[in-house]
Structure 1
Amino acid sequence: MAAFTSSQYALAAGGIGILLLLAKILTIGRRPKNYPPGPPTLPILGNMHLMPKKDAHLQFQKWAQEYGPVYSLILGTKTLIVLSSDTAVKDLLDKRSAIYSDRQPSYMGQDLVSGGLRVLLMRYGPTWRMIRKMVHNILNIVAARSYVPYQDLENKYMLLGILESPDLFADHIRRYTNSLTTQMVFGFRTLSIDDPKLKQLFHGFEKFCEVTGNGVAVVIDLFPILRYLPDFMLPMRAYCKRLHAKEKDLYVGHWMNVKKAIKAGTAKPCFCVDLVKAQEVEGFSDDLAGYTAGSLLEAGSDTTAATLIAFIQALVLFPNVQKLAQEELDRVVGQDRLPTMEDEMNLQYIRGCVKESMRWMPTDILGVPHAVTKDDWYMGYLIPKGAGVVNNVWTIHMDPKRHPNPREFDPSRYATDFQTAGEAAANPDVSKRDHFTLGTGRRICQGMHIAERSLFLGISRILWAFNVEAPLDADGKKILPDPNKLTQGLFVLPEPFRANIRPRSEKHAAMIREQWDSCLPLLDGEMQWREVPKGMAFSTYDPTKHQSAEF
C-alpha cells in the first residue's frame, strides 16, 4: 500500500479544515435547543430576515404573544434575549444586575458616532462605574430636591412661551427641559427656542437614534467582519463620522468653555465643577469629559420633553382626563396661584398623569439592550454569555392583564399608588412597579428623581393654565392625531401633531405673566441667574473616596 506524500497529507488536512469551517458557518443562524424559544431561523441569517424596518415594538409584542415572556432572536452571529414580562425583567436585569449590566458592541452608534465615549452605550467596566458614581452625586434623590428653583423658573418661562405662541408648544417644552439641564451641567440657561445649540442637540440626538436602529448598523454588529469594507462600499461610515464631528464640537465645546471659566473662577456652580476635580484625579481626556457632560444634557433634555409632548397628545385624544385633572387642581390649588411641588401629595390624579404618560408613551420603547457577561440559566433556558437582553417595555406596558385597556390614557390606574418612580422601581413586588420607561438594574436612569419633578411641574401647570383641545378642520370636525404614529429609532416620541392650546381664562393668562415677571429680579441683564440658589449638590464630589461595590 503506497504511503501518502506530504502534499497529499496537506491536501487532506486542507480539505478537512474547509469542511470544518463550512460546518461551523452552517451553524450560524441556528437556535441551539437549550435557548429560549423563538421564530424559525434560516442558515446564516437566523431571524434577521424577520426583523421589521419600522415599529419594531409591535413585532416584538407579537412574538411575545406567540413565544412567551422570554424568547430569543438569532441574528447572524449574535443572540438577543427578549424579556416581555415584569417578572423576567425583575429576576434578571434587577436581581442579577452584577452580570446583566453590560452593553453589546455598537460599531456605528458607539464607535463611529460617539467616538466610543457615549455613556449610554458604554461597556460595563471601570470607566463606566467611575462616571456613574460621579453622576450619582448630583442626581441622587437628596440632590434632586435642590434643583426645584431651576425647574420652577424654567417652567414659568415655558408657560409664557406657550401662552404667546401656542402652536410652538413642542419647542417651548424642549427649551424648558434643555435649559434646566444646561444649568445643572454647565451653569447657563438656554434662553430661546431658536438657540442653534438647542436645535443641534435635539437634531443630533434624533440622528443618533436613527443610526443605532438602522439596518446597516445592525448587520455590521452581527457580522463584524463587514467593518473592514472600504468606505465606498460602506458610505454610512462617512455619515456617522460627520455626525460625530458635529456632536463632539457641541459637547466638548461646552465642556472646554466651562472648564476655562471654572479655572478662572467665573463659572456658576454646576456639575462640571465636579467633573474638573475628577479629571485632575483620574486623568481622563477632555473628550470623555465632554461626552460625560453631553450625555447628561441628552438624557435631561430629550426624554422628559418627549414625555410632555406625548401628554399633550393624550389630552387631545382623551378630553375627559383634562376635565378630571382640572377639577382636582381647582379644588386643591385654586385659581389664584400655580401648583408647586408642595402640592404633589395632594394631587394624586395629577401624579397619575405623570405615571400614565410614561406608561402610555414610553420613549425608551424597547429599552437599550443590556448584555450578559457570563452564561446564565433562567426558566430552564440558557442565556449565553454576550447575548443582548431586551427590556421589552412596550409589551409589558401594553399587557392587558397588567393594565386593562392599555391603549386608553387612564391616570386613575394609579389612584392608590403613592410611590415615587424610584420607590416603585425598587419595590420587591414587581407587579407594583408603575412603569419601566426609566430602565432597570444598574443601568436605570439616574436622573429619574429630577425627571419626575420636571414632569409633575410641567403637567400640573399646563393643566392649571390651559385648555388643550383638538383643532378643527374647515367642516368643524376634530383633527385627531394617530397615537400609533411614532418617530423611529432607539428613542421615540409621537410624530408632529397639532393641538389647540388656549389659556383657561384671562385671569390664568395674567397669572402666567405675573409669575414670570416675579422671576426677573433673579436674573441679570443677560437673563442668567444673578446667584445660583443655595443648597445645590455641586462641588461636593470627592473623587479620592473609595468606590463602593454598588457602582
Structure 2
Amino acid sequence: MVSILAIALVVILLYQLSKVGRRPKGCPPGPPTLPLIGNLHLMPKKQGHLQFQKWADEYGPIYSLVLGTQIMIVLSSDLAVKDLLDKRSGIYSSRPDMYLGQDITSGGFRMVLMEYGERWRIQRGIVHNSLNIKASRTYVPYQDLESKAMLLGFLEDPSQFFNHIRRYTNSISTQMIFGFRTLDIHDPKLERLIHGFEKWSEIAGSQSAALLDVFPILRHLPDFLLPVKKYARELHAKEYDLFVGHYLEAKRKLKEGKAKPCICADIVRAQDEMKFSDGAAGYLSGTLLEAGSDTSASTLIGFIQALLIFPEVSALAQAELDRVCGDRIPDLNDLPNLPYIRGCIKESLRWMPTAILGVPHAVIRDDEYSGYHIPKGAGVMLNVWAIHNDPSRHPDPRRFDPSRWIHNTQTSAESANNADASKRDQFVFGAGRRLCQGIHIADGNLFLAISRLLWAFDIRRSVNKFTGKEIIPDMEDLTEGLVVCPNLFSADIKPRNSLKAEIIRSEWKKTMELLDDDLQWKSVPEGLVWRDYEPLDTEEI
C-alpha cells in the first residue's frame, strides 16, 4: 500500500514537473520554450528592452514569456495597455512576487512593488492629497528656487552638469517630503541615495532576481551559493538607515514644532493613528524621495544627450524662447506660448524612457483578451520601449523631434487619462491605479529646467583634444536595471552671452533674500497645502 502511494506521488510530481516551462493552452504566442525553464534561456543579460521590442515585432502587440513556473504577458501596444491596465485596473493593479527587489533589498516596504491590497491603498492614500494637481501648483516656489540654483551651478561649474541636475530634482523632493533643501551636489546623503537606487534597480532587474522568482526553492540556498542575496541584504541595511534616518529626523522636528510643513507631517499623523512601524514610514517617505529625485533627473540627462546628438533642436528651441521671453527668464506662465519647449518635454519622456520596460503588474484572477487566456497570477509587463518606438505611432522613432508634439497641449496626466489610447504621448509614468502620483510635479520640474537651461546656455558637443573631432554620445549607452539613465558623457556648456550670465547671478541674488544663513527657507512659501503636524488627542486615537 505504501509503495503504491509512493509511486502515485512520484507520478503526480513528474506530471506537474512536465508542465513547468510549457506555455499554457490559450495563452498569447511567444518564443519556443524548453522543459522546466521555458524561455529563461532566452532572457537577455543586457539591453533587455531591445530584445523585448524584437519579440513584439515577431509575435505581435500581446505575447507571452514562460519563465519557469511563471507566465509573463507582455503588452506592446497602447490599446492593450488601455484595455487591460486602465479599463480593467481592478484586477490588473497588483505586483508579481519580486523576492530580491522587494522582500530582501526593500524589506517588503517598497510601495512601488507592493501587492495591490489594503496596505498599499493606505500608503497611497496618505500621500494622495500632497501630490494631486491642486497641491502640485503650490510647490512652484520650490521648483523656481532650485531651478535658479541649478542655473548658477551650470554657470560656475558646467562640467558637473549630471550632479547639478540630480541636486535640483533631489532638493525639490527633500523640501516637499522632509522640509529641507539639499545644498551640495556632493551631499553624502544625496550620493548614497543615487548609488542605492542604481544598485537596487540593477538587482531588481537582474537574471538572478528572475531566477529566484520563478524557482522559489532556490531562495533556500545558503549565501555562499547565492552571493547576490547577501549583497541585497547589505544594500537594504544601508537603504533602511538612510530612509528611516531621514524620516526620524523629520518626525522629531515636527513633534518639537521645529520643522517646515511637509509630507512627513501627514505620515507621522497617520503613524500615530494606525501604529505602523518606523520602517514602513521611513520607506514610504524614502521611496517618494527616490522617485522624485531619480526619474526627472534621468529624463533631463537624456535631454542633454539628445541636444548633443541632434543639435538642430537647440537652435529651434532657443529661437522660440528668444521670441517669447527675450531677456526675461522663462516661468510657468510661458508654457502655453512655448509649444516647441513643451514638445521637448514630451519627446524627452518618449525618446529616453527611464522606466524602460515599466514595473510589472500582476493579474489577480483569470481573464480573457483578444481571444487569449491570461491566467491568474501572471505578470503583465508594460513594454514602454516598444510602444515609444513603434514607427506607426512615431515615424522615425529614434530621431529626437519635438515638433511631432507641436499641436499636443495635454499635460502628462491628461494624456495618461485620454480615452483614446492612440493619443497618449508616453507611458513612463505607468498605467491604471499604479499611475505615478508625482506626475504633475514631474511636468513642472521638466518645464522649468528645460526652458531655463536652453534660454541661458549653449549646450554643444565636446571636442576630443587629441583628434580635434566632436564627441557624439551613444544614445544606446544606458545603465542596466528596472530604471535606466544614460551613462556618463561630456558636453561643452557655456552661457549664451554675458547678459544672460548676469541675469542668472541677479536672479539668484534676489532668491537669496528668501533664505536664512543656512540657505534654508526663512519662512514657508504661501499657499502650501500641508497643515502643521498636530498630535492626535486621546479621543481621536
Same fold, judged at TM 0.5 (above): yes
The offset of 1:461, in angstroms, is: 0.4
**Which residue in 2 is equivalent to 1:116?**
108
Aligned residue for 2:460? 469
Task: State the Cα distance separating 1:543 from its structure 2 match.
Answer: 12
Structure 2 match to 1:46: 38
Q: Is the 8 A contact 2:203 2:209 kept in 1?
A: yes
Secondary structure in structure 2 of the residue aligned to 1:366: coil
Counterpart CA distance in 2 for 1:177 and 1:286 is: 25
Distance (whole Å) between structure 2 residues aligned to residue 488 and residue 541 of structure 1: 40
Is it true that 1:408 corresponds to 2:373 in the alignment? Answer: no
Residue 519 of structure 2 aligns to a residue whose secondary structure is coil
Q: Distance in 2 between matches of 1:191 and 1:64?
A: 45
Once the two structures are overlaid, the 10-residue window that deviates more, 483-492 or 468-477, is 468-477
Q: Is the 8 A contact 2:91 2:365 kept in 1?
A: yes
- Determine the structure 2 residue equivalent to 1:262: 254
How far residue 262 of structure 1 moved from its aligned partner, in angstroms, is: 0.7
CA contact (8 A) 1:157 1:516 kept: yes
Q: Distance in 2 between matches of 1:83 and 1:24?
A: 28
Quote the Cα distance in structure 1 between the aligned partners of 2:77 and 2:351: 16
Partner AA of 2:173 in structure 1: T
| CA contact 2:343–2:402 (8 Å) conserved in 1 | yes
Aligned residue among 121, 146, 155 for 2:147: 155
Counterpart among 363, 368, 371 of residue 372 in structure 1: 363
- Quick one: which amino acid aligns to residue 251 of structure 2? K
CA distance in 2, matches of 1:442, 1:536: 26
Partner of 1:68: 60
Shift of 1:475: 3.2
Distance (whole Å) between structure 2 residues aligned to residue 444 and residue 62 of structure 1: 26
Is 1:288 paired with 2:284? Answer: no
Mark the runs of 5 or more structure 1 residues left unpaired by the alignment. 1-8, 545-551
Q: Which amino acid aligns with 1:428?
A: A
Deviation by residue 1:15-56 (Cα, 9 ceiling, x = unmatched): 122122111101100002200000000000000000000100
Do the aligned residues in 2 keep the contact of 1:137 with 1:541 (CA within 8 Å)? no
For 1:306, which of 295, 298, 302 is the aligned residue?
298
The answer to whether the Cα contact below 8 Å between 2:30 and 2:55 also exists between their aligned partners in 1 is yes
How far apart are 1:232 and its partner, in Å?
A: 2.0
2:342 maps to 1:342 = no
Question: Could you tell me how far apart the structure 1 residues matched to 2:4 and 2:187 are?
Answer: 69
Greater mean alpha carbon deviation, residues 251-260 or residues 232-241: 232-241
Is the 2:28–2:373 contact (alpha carbons within 8 Å) kept by the matching residues of 1?
yes
Q: Is the 8 A contact 1:310 1:494 kept in 2?
A: yes
Tell me by how many angstroms 1:231 deviates.
2.1
Aligned to 1:549: none
Match of 1:506 among 478, 498, 502: 498
Which stretch of the first structure deviates more once superposed, 128-137 or 227-236?
227-236
Question: Which residue is equivalent to 1:145?
Answer: 137
Query: For 1:441-471, what per-residue CA distance to the aligned partner results, in whole angstroms no more than 9, with x for missing partners?
Result: 0101100000000000000000000001111
> Which amino acid letter does the alignment assign opposite residue 209 of structure 1?
S
Does the 8 A contact of 1:281 with 1:543 survive in 2? no
> Where does 1:125-524 land on structure 2 (aligned, <5 Å)?
125-335=117-327, 337-473=328-464, 474-524=466-516
Question: Deviations 1:89-126 (Å, cap 9, x if unpaired)?
Answer: 00000000011000011111111111100111111111
Q: What is the CA distance between 1:228 and its match in structure 2? A: 1.2
- Aligned-partner Cα distance in 1 for 2:243–2:323: 45
Q: Deviations over 1:358-415 (max 9, x none)?
A: 0000000000000001000001111111111000000000000000000000001111
Distance 1:220 1:126 in 2: 26
8 Å contact from structure 1 (residues 108, 211) kept in 2? yes
Q: Residue type of the partner of 1:212?
A: A
TM-score w.r.t. the length of structure 2 is 0.98
Q: CA deviation at 1:69?
A: 0.3
Moved more, 189-198 or 11-20: 11-20
Offset at residue 13 of structure 1 (A): 2.3
User: What amino acid maps onto 1:356 in structure 2?
Assistant: E
Distance 1:188 1:482 in 2: 37
Query: Paired residue for 1:106?
Result: 98
Q: In the TM superposition, what is the alpha-carbon distance from 1:532 to its structure 2 partner?
A: 1.0
Matched residue type, 1:487: T
Match 1:21 to one of 13, 21, 40: 13
Could you list the structure 1 runs, at least 4 aligned residues long, displaced by more than 2 angstroms after superposition.
539-544
Letter of the structure 1 residue corresponding to residue 410 of structure 2: Q
Letter in 2 for 1:170: F
Deviations 1:470-504 (A, max 9, x none): 11123321110100111000100111111111100
SS of 2:32's partner is coil
Give the root-mean-square deviation of aligned CA atoms: 1.2
Displacement after TM superposition at 1:252 (Å): 0.3
SS in structure 2 at match of 1:266: coil
- Conserved 8 A contact 2:255-2:533: no
Distance 1:386 1:33 in 2: 16
The code of the aligned residue for 1:248 comes to Y
After TM superposition, give the deviation of residue 57 of structure 1 in Å. 0.3
Answer whether contact 2:272 2:535 (CA < 8 A) is retained: no
Q: Give the 3-state SS of the residue equivalent to 1:162 in structure 2.
A: helix
Q: Residue type matched to 1:211 in 2?
A: I
Alpha-carbon contact 1:29-1:46 (below 8 Å) kept: yes
CA 66–465 in structure 1, closer or farther in 2 if over 3 Å, else same: same
Unaligned runs of 5+ in 2: 537-541
Percent identity (aligned): 60
SS in 1 for 2:508: helix
- Deviation string 1:212-267 (CA, Å, 9 cap, x unpaired) is 11211110111011111122222222111110110000000011111011111111
SS in 2 for 1:72: strand
Q: Deviations over 1:501-542 (max 9, x none)?
A: 110001111111111111111000100000010111112899
State the secondary structure of the residue aligned to 1:98. helix
Q: Is the aligned partner of 1:90 residue 2:76?
A: no
Match of 1:526 among 518, 522, 539: 518
Change (3 A) 1:388 1:252: same
Alpha-carbon contact 1:154-1:176 (below 8 Å) kept: yes
Partner Cα separation in structure 2 for residue 540 and residue 489 of structure 1: 38
User: 2-side partners of 1:496 and 1:229: how far apart?
Assistant: 37
Q: 1:436: how far off?
A: 0.6
| Deviations 1:291-328 (CA, angstroms, capped at 9, x unpaired) | 00001100100000000000000000111110000000
Asked if 1:81 is matched to 2:81, the reply is no
Q: Counterparts of 1:482 and 1:38 in 2: how far apart (Å)?
A: 31
What is the rounded CA distance, in whole Å, between the counterparts of 2:404 and 2:232 in structure 1? 43
Report deviation, 1:133.
Answer: 1.2
Tell me if structure 1 keeps the 8 A contact 2:265–2:533. no
Instruction: Give 1:342 shift.
Output: 0.4
Change in 2 beyond 3 A, CA 1:364/1:541: farther
